[in-house]
Structure 1
Amino acid sequence: MPTQDPIAVAHTPLEDAQGLGMGVLLCGLGITLLSHLGFMTGQTAGIALILSYVTGFSFGWVFFAINIPFYWLAQKRLGWEFTLKSLACVTGLSLVTEWMPQGLTIESLNPLLGVVLFGSVTGLGLLAVFRHKGSLGGIGVVALIVQDRTGFRAGYVQLAVDVCIFSVALALYDLRVVLYSLLGAVVLNGVIAFNHRRDRYIAP
């Protein structure tokens, strides 16, 4: 008797909420670890971290604000479902990064371990978000569009952008900070590049 291919079954709204929620929580944990160390990252989150350090505004509010222009691109290219889920994820991450430091006290964290943990948990969080047709906005939207149109993996697109961001950061930050931050970005984008493939996951 034939069986239904499980990857052809759409996610239910509850499954989407669970997947997106867990993804946002993991990304929030990663950003909290990175912020504690005083390091930066790439993509829109990296820009938000830099602006929050420079201006004194919280990461959550800056991250939410700079993602606003990307919603138009997301709606035009990827549709309303993706756009609304991305808006929910960006809003959720903004709130989580505001709340998490109040409930998580870090007394000591080795920088090397910290950036590897950041890259790993944030990469897993982004995988969950992507798997449920969402994003954290910004460059992630562009990377997913490139992957869908060309097949060039989103992780490699994001890594290329990160190289540009960190090249500029060399003029602004201590070399130690940039190198540790770059390692975290490499781990994060490696997780995405090795595990997120459009030909492997086709479920809505």
Structure 2
Amino acid sequence: MKINWKRLPYDIFIDVIGGILAAIGVYNFAANAGFPMSGVSGIALIFYKLFGLPLGATIIVLNVPIALLCYKSLGKEFFLRSIRTVIITSLIMDYVAPLLPVYNGDRMLAAICTGIFAGLGYALIFSNNTSTGGTDFISMAIRARNPHVTLGRIIFVLDAAIVLLGGAVFKDLDATIYGFIISYLLSMIVDKLMYGIDAGKMTLIVTDHGQDVADVIAKYSDRGSTIMRGKGGFSGNEREIVMCACNNKQMSAIRRAVKQVDPNAFTVIMESSEVLGEGFKEE
């Protein structure tokens, strides 16, 4: 694999910032509060509580068999980037997080902070097309085969099983509940940061006045649109379908404008998790 030396400092910077945030969530909040954390970090926490093994080193050891199993699904480039990230984040977990204050307050606040800090850290790392290994490898491998499923949902399902395992080991029902709260917050934050920032609306407008609808969309929202040909499944009539992607605020103006041009238009409005291309986020 050819290394992009110009980009490498930026990649390492993202790994460090993401690793610090994730380590704070796991070590400074979850570990001290006795939460059955999710992912490989959660398994490492079980060993940490039972045997006092260092979190970062345990995470590296646990990653070896998972990495070997997921290597083909992930590809060489992503795999090697992730190995770099695993090493950096694990070192931060063992040598940086212990230098920071540990939270000893309310467990609910600890759970919320765990989800927020870890979610921010993982979202930064995922957004840079790398991962912290472990169930992240499994999540990325699953998503590679099922791109329609968001990372947050995959993470939540995998992590729920580990949270239940941790709750059974520590025999703490409250901690198990907090663990699920953490998993939900973490997955939600990952999805919002990775997809929500660029989220918007997409509309399909079935009409007899396609060009007029496209013109009024451009006039009132400054958005382009695509006109496609369609045929009614029941009536067999030929109609035009106008497709337009926009942000949430622009959709309201588009709805009113379309109604004025064609009161009989059939309009479908959908959520779009991310929009790439001219006028939106560049790939």
Same fold flag (TM > 0.5): yes
After superposition, residues 27-176 of structure 1 pair within 5 angstroms as 27-32=22-27, 33-106=29-102, 108-150=104-146, 151-172=148-169, 173-176=171-174
Higher strand fraction: Structure 1 or Structure 2? 2
Query: Displacement of 1:160 after TM fit?
Result: 0.9
Residues 20 and 97 of structure 2 are in contact (CA less than 8 Å); yes or no, is this contact kept in structure 1?
no
Residues 30 and 122 of structure 1 are in contact (CA less than 8 Å); yes or no, is this contact kept in structure 2?
yes
**Aligned-partner Cα distance in 1 for 2:179–2:58:** 19
Q: 1:199 to 1:169 in 2, by over 3 A?
A: same
**Aligned-partner Cα distance in 2 for 1:88–1:13:** 11
Unaligned residue ranges in structure 2 (runs of 5+): 1-5, 196-272
**Aligned-partner Cα distance in 2 for 1:15–1:191:** 23
Higher helix fraction: Structure 1 or Structure 2? 1
**Aligned-partner Cα distance in 1 for 2:127–2:25:** 19
Residues 75 and 82 of structure 1 are in contact (CA less than 8 Å); yes or no, is this contact kept in structure 2?
no
AA of the residue aligned to 1:19: I
Higher relative contact order (CA 8 A, sep 6+): 1
**Aligned-partner Cα distance in 2 for 1:105–1:98:** 14
**Aligned-partner Cα distance in 2 for 1:23–1:170:** 27
Mapped pair 1:179 → 2:177: yes
Q: Under a length normalisation based on structure 2, what TM-score does the superposition of the two structures give?
A: 0.62
**Aligned-partner Cα distance in 1 for 2:158–2:98:** 32
**Aligned-partner Cα distance in 2 for 1:74–1:169:** 24
Q: Secondary structure at the match of 1:141?
A: helix
Structure 2 partner of 1:4:
none
Q: Secondary structure at the match of 1:25?
A: helix
1:189 corresponds, among 167, 174, 187, to: 187
**Aligned-partner Cα distance in 2 for 1:101–1:134:** 21
Unaligned residue ranges in structure 1 (runs of 5+): 1-10
RMSD: 2.3
Question: Identity over the aligned pairs, expressed in percent?
Answer: 23
> How many equivalent pairs are there?
194
Q: Under a length normalisation based on structure 1, what TM-score does the superposition of the two structures give?
A: 0.84
Query: Displacement of 1:30 after TM fit?
Result: 1.0
AA of the residue aligned to 1:187: L
